[in-house]
């Protein structure tokens, strides 16, 4: 199979017309190069966008109250209403498919002037009220201390956890904030932790880095929100569709608050799962496009190889005739031509793969360098252009198949010529 | 069929289709060549001598009649089987040498063994032995383009011999050589014959034909004359003494 005589013939066939061989190989090279670069760029786009979602519970949704738009049961349209604790309890009771539910308070009215003070330091930050389970929806790491816990909620402790930016502004670098106090809108809270979100690009309600989280119950009581819930997030149990839960939550809320069943706008919401699906379909579309273009280019390259193999077979008809006269079986002749074709495509394809990977790598290096200089908050939509090992293996397999198919017709043609005709071919 | 015929042909017919017409080339050939004979086939161009040689060499198929090679009936067979027969039974020598241009002398000689899946080391060693016997050992690493016509034909003979065939078929082996070289090549072929290999030479040169034991003349697709050559003299050179 890998006898030197076989390679000698392959190299000789290529050497006899270097320029032609190179041009042909370029077709395949270019196809694979394009495929690699395009796929890598597509992946970078996916990476850039999904990086912003990292670790965020994708099987989640958020719901909140909006003004009603339909008059119902004696109420006029345009009515303001609020979610409340009773709604939350009813929802959790009635829908066991909900994994965690986390009511939230958003202190819009609290961020005014320099609402957060510590000694001589003062700044304006957002204040949110949260349950411990919010961490299941929006995971974070804790550089200092701990997250809000059950006792905080039950005992309505005056504690808080703070975002990275809050820590930076209110504390000295390296200072341990745990146990220190912050005055938030006139009330002192003890800092029990600093949180660092895993997905800083998703901000619901406020920029997380500039936010102070209070225990939900503490915040309801301290800042006079009564039993109000401003909005809530929940996750579905595995295998349960988020939208189906949303569709079951809405009637409960409508019943509690006398909202018309026809009023689609009174309950606002954001379904992370379905939003992600939309994005995934977009990515799928991009990927399909990449592969269609890539495979198309590759087919054009393969036709080129097939063409050149036909010419090679024609030029070497007599030689093939001699070989067959002295005992070369058709299988040997076919094998010879197929291996030439596979060799040509694979070498060209490998160069394309290598070159494409190199270009992607250089882009990656340049992107990293650019990101290092950009402000840390800047979102990037293009990140780590790369192709995975499966893709590389797939393209090698495709190359071998393409080379094989490209050589098939010329090979069959070569053995269809009778040896006697081949011998007399000039 | 147990006799010492190496090639036996009965009522062999062959015609070629040329558009709507059929060109009837061989019109019933009967031939019996014994193992170890040295025979020449003569005839003017168009007499069918090359066609006959191609059929004998299983490069072409016959339409009618019987052909036995080493007492095996040769019928229409697939190319794989035909290639095996050629590889095992027949050595070809062509007028235009038909060496592979990018292979050196040794590799050309070794090529039939490649098709027998013999390892490169072993086949090259055997090729060197044959080149040595034909006095071409120093030329083993030369490409055909660097060799003279006589040298090329000797390499072609070595290539024909290396697979230890039962029959050597030579199609105008001296056609492209000057008379001095021609005689040298004939000397070698006679030596080959004395090793016990049947040699069949197609030629139109009387000088060449007269160095074979039997001369068969073809005329218009039939055998016109089939006579033993009284002037035949074996050569005395001993190139293949070791074999």
And the tokens for A358? 């190199």
* Residue A25: closest CA among A340, A335, A316: A340
Q: What is the pLDDT of residue B200?
A: 94
Cβ(A211)–Cβ(A127) under 8 Å?
yes
Specify the pLDDT at position B240.
Answer: 60
Would you tell me which residues 392-421 of chain A have a C-beta closer than 8 angstroms to some C-beta of chain B? 415, 418-420
Task: Report, as an integer, the average pLDDT of A185-207.
Answer: 87
Cβ B115–A319 below 8 Å, yes or no? Answer: no
Tell me which chain A residues have a C-beta less than 8 angstroms from the C-beta of B127.
Answer: none
pLDDT at B1 over 60: no
Cβ–Cβ gap B111/A323 under 8 Å: yes
Among A326, A328, A422, the strongest candidate for a mutation testing the B interface, having the largest count of B CBs within 10 A, is: A326
Contacts 24+ apart (CB under 8 A), A14-19: A14/A340, A14/A344, A16/A315
Give the domain range for residue B192: 36-61+78-228
Q: Is A1 on the interface with B (CB under 8 A)?
A: no
In a domain, B102, yes or no: yes
Instruction: Report CA dihedral (A410, A412, A416, A421) to the nearest 10 degrees.
Output: 30
Q: Measured between alpha carbons, how far is A228 from A222 in angstroms, rounded to an integer?
A: 13
Which parts of A17-94 fold into alpha helices (H)? 18-51, 85-94
Q: Does B89 touch chain A (CB under 8 A)?
A: no
- Rounded to an integer, the average pLDDT of A239-268 is 93
pLDDT of A426 over the 80 cut: no
Chain B residues close to A330, C-beta within 8 Å: 79-80, 83
How does residue B159 score in pLDDT terms, banded at 50, 70 and 90? Answer: very high
Taking CA atoms, A263 is separated from A67, A250, A304, B46, in Å, by 10, 10, 63, 100
Distance from CA of A325 to the nearest CA of B (A): 7
Task: Put the strands of the sheet holding B38-42 in their side by side order.
Answer: B90-93, B167-171, B198-202, B38-42, B214-219, B222-228
Residue identified by tokens 């004939």 is B186
Share of chain A above pLDDT 70, in %: 97
pLDDT of residue B242: 47
Greatest mean pLDDT range, A4-13, B99-108, B226-235? B99-108
Does residue B96 carry a pLDDT above 70?
Answer: yes
Name every residue whose Cβ is closer than 8 Å to that of residue B106 and which is 6 or more positions away in sequence. Answer: B124, B127, B128, B131, B140, B141
- A121 three-class SS: strand
User: Is A348 within 8 Å of A171 (Cβ atoms)?
Assistant: no
Q: Which residues of B touch A3 (CB under 8 A)?
A: 114, 120
Predicted pLDDT at B207 = 87
Note whether B84 contacts A: Cβ–Cβ < 8 A.
yes
Label residue A93 by pLDDT band (50, 70, 90): very high
Size of the A and B interface in Cβ pairs below 8 Å: 72
* Residues in B touching A423 (Cβ below 8 Å): 59, 94, 98
DSSP B163-209: T--SEEEEESTTTTS-HHHHHHHHHHHHHHHHTT-EEEEE-S-HHHH
Contacts with A, B 29-68, CB within 8 Å: 54, 57, 59-60
What CATH number does the domain containing B118 carry? Answer: 3.40.50.300
User: In this prediction, does ipTM exceed 0.90?
Assistant: no
**How far off is chain B from A416, nearest CA to CA, in Å?**
10
Nearest CB to B83; choose among A3, A318, A324: A324
Question: Looking at A163-167, B27-31, B228-232, which range is the least confident one?
Answer: B228-232
Decide if B42 is inside a domain.
Answer: yes
Average pLDDT, stretch B192-198? 91
Other Cβ atoms closer than 10 A to A411: 23
Tell me, yes or no, whether B48 lies in a domain. Answer: yes
Buried/exposed A103-136: b ≥16 CB within 10 Å, e otherwise: bbbbbeebbeeebbbbeeeeeebbbbbbbbbbbb
Tokens 């069959």 sit on residue: A412
The answer to whether residue B141 scores a pLDDT higher than 90 is: yes
Within a domain: B70: no
- Residue A206 is predicted with a pLDDT of 79
Q: Is residue B180 part of a domain?
A: yes
Distance between CA atoms of residues A351 and A359, nearest Å: 12
Chain B residues with beta carbon closer than 8 angstroms to that of A420: 54, 59-60
Please report the pLDDT score of residue B243 as a whole number.
42
Task: State whether residue B158 is helix, strand or coil.
Answer: helix
Interface of B with A in 158-217 (CB under 8 A): 159-160, 163
Residue B239 has pLDDT above 70, yes or no: no
- Give the length of chain A: 426
Q: Kindly list the distances between the CA atom of residue A282 and the CA atoms of A49, A271, A293, B3, B46, in Å, as whole numbers in the listed order.
A: 12, 17, 17, 82, 73
In this complex, the residue of B87, B94, B101 whose CB is nearest that of residue A327 is B87
Confidence of residue A315 (pLDDT cuts 50, 70, 90): confident
Residue A157 in contact with residue A210, Cβ under 8 Å? Answer: no
Q: Is the pLDDT of residue A126 over 80?
A: yes
Residue with tokens 């939900």: A216
Percent of chain A scored above 90 by pLDDT? 43
* pLDDT, tens digit, 9 for 90 and up, residues A366-423: 888 887 777 665 666 677 777 778 878 888 888 888 889 888 999 998 888 888 878 7
Average per-residue pLDDT in chain A?
Answer: 88
Answer whether residue B44 is part of any domain.
yes
Q: Where are the alpha helices (DSSP H) in A326-417?
A: 330-373, 389-416
Q: Give me the number of domains chain B comprises.
A: 1
Q: What is the mean pLDDT of residues A248-265?
A: 92
DSSP 8-state symbol, A76: P
Spell out the residues 6+ positions from residue A36 whose beta carbon is closer than 8 angstroms to its own: A352, A353, A355, A356, A357, A359, A360, A387, A391, A395
Is B5 inside a domain boundary?
A: no
Residue A189's nearest CA partner among A109, A101, A110, A112 is A110
H-run or E-run covering B119: none
Residue B183 located in a structural domain: yes
pLDDT score recorded for residue A372: 77
Q: Say which residue the tokens 């080339």 belong to.
A: B25
- Test B98 with A423 for CB contact under 8 angstroms: yes
Mean pLDDT score of chain B: 88
Q: Which residues of A touch B54 (CB under 8 A)?
A: 420
Is B103 in CB contact (< 8 Å) with chain A?
yes
Could you give the CA distance from residue A249 to residue A55 in angstroms, rounded to a whole number? 25
Report chain A residues whose CB lies below 8 A from the CB of B94.
423
Q: B-chain residues within 8 Å CB-CB of A327? A: 83-84, 86-88, 112, 115-116, 163
CA distance B17 to chain A (A): 14
What is the model's pLDDT at position B238?
60
- Summarize pLDDT for A261-284 with one digit per residue, the tens: 999 899 999 998 888 888 889 888
**Cut 0.80: pTM above it:** no
- Cβ atoms B31, B215 nearer than 8 A: no
Provide, as residue numbers in chain B, all residues whose Cβ is less than 8 Å from the Cβ of A324.
79, 83, 86
Q: Write phi, then psi, for A162 (nearest 5 degrees).
A: -125, 150
Least confident piece of the model among A256-260, A339-343, B2-6 = B2-6
Please give the DSSP secondary-structure letter assigned to residue B134: T
Query: Is pLDDT above 90 for B4?
Result: no
B31 DSSP assignment:
E
């Amino acid at each position: 199979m890998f006898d030197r005589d076989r390679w000698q013939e392959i190299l000789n066939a290529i050497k006899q017309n270097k320029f032609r061989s190179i041009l042909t190989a370029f077709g395949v090279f270019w196809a694979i190069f394009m495929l690699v670069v395009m796929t890598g760029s597509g992946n970078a786009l996916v990476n850039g966008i999904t990086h912003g979602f990292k670790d965020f519970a994708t099987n989640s949704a958020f719901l909140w109250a909006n003004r009603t738009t339909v008059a119902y049961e004696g109420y006029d349209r345009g009515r303001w209403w609020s979610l409340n604790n009773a709604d939350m309890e009813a929802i959790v009771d009635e829908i066991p498919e909900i994994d965690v539910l986390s009511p939230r308070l958003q202190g819009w009215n609290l961020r005014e002037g320099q609402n957060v003070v510590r000694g001589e330091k003062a700044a304006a930050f957002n204040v949110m009220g949260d349950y411990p389970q919010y961490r299941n929806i929006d995971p974070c790491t804790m550089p200092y201390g701990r997250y809000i816990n059950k006792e905080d909620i039950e005992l309505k402790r005056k504690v808080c956890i703070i975002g990275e930016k809050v820590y930076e502004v209110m504390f000295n670098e390296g200072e341990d904030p745990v146990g220190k106090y912050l005055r938030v809108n006139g009330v002192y809270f003890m800092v029990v932790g600093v949180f660092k979100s895993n997905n800083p690009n998703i901000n619901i309600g406020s920029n997380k880095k500039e936010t102070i989280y209070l225990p939900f119950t503490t915040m309801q009581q301290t800042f006079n929100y009564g039993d109000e819930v401003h909005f809530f997030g929940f996750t579905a149990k595995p295998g349960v569709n988020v939208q189906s839960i949303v569709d079951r939550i809405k009637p409960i809320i409508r019943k509690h608050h006398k909202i018309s069943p026809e009023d689609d706008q009174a309950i606002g919401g954001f379904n992370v799962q379905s939003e992600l699906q939309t994005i995934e379909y977009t990515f799928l579309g991009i990927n399909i496009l990449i592969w269609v273009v890539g495979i198309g280019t590759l087919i054009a390259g393969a036709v080129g190889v097939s063409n050149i193999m036909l010419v090679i077979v024609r030029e070497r008809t007599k030689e093939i005739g001699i070989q067959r006269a002295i005992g070369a079986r058709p299988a040997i002749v076919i094998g010879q031509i197929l291996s030439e074709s596979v060799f040509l495509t694979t070498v060209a394809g490998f160069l394309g793969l290598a070159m494409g990977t190199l270009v992607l790598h250089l882009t990656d290096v340049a992107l990293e360098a650019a990101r290092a200089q950009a402000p840390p908050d800047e979102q990037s939509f293009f990140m780590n252009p790369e192709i995975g090992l499966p893709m590389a293996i797939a393209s090698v397999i495709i190359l071998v198949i393409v080379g094989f198919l490209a050589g098939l017709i010329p090979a069959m043609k070569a053995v269809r010529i009778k040896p006697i005709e081949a011998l007399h071919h000039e | 069929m147990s006799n010492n015929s190496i090639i036996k042909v009965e009522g062999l017919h062959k015609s070629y289709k040329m558009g709507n017409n059929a060109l009837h080339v061989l019109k019933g050939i009967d031939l019996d060549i014994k193992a170890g004979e040295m025979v020449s086939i003569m005839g003017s161009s168009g007499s069918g001598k090359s066609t006959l040689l191609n059929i004998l060499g299983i490069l072409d198929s016959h339409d009618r009649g019987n052909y036995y090679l080493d007492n095996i009936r040769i019928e229409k067979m697939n190319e794989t089987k035909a290639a095996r027969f050629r590889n095992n039974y027949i050595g070809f020598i062509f007028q235009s040498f038909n060496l592979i241009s990018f292979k050196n002398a040794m590799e050309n000689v070794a090529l039939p063994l490649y098709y027998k899946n013999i390892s490169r080391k072993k086949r090259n060693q055997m090729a060197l032995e044959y080149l040595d016997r034909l006095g071409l050992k120093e030329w083993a690493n030369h490409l055909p383009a660097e060799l003279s016509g006589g040298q090329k034909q000797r390499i072609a003979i070595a290539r024909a011999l290396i697979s230890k065939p039962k029959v050597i078929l030579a199609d105008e082996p001296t056609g492209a050589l000057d008379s001095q070289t021609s005689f040298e090549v004939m000397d070698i072929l006679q030596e080959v014959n004395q090793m016990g290999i049947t040699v069949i030479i197609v030629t139109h040169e009387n000088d060449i034909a007269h160095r074979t034991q039997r001369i068969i003349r073809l005329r218009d697709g039939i055998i016109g004359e089939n006579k033993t050559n009284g002037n035949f003299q074996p050569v005395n050179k001993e190139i293949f003494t070791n074999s």
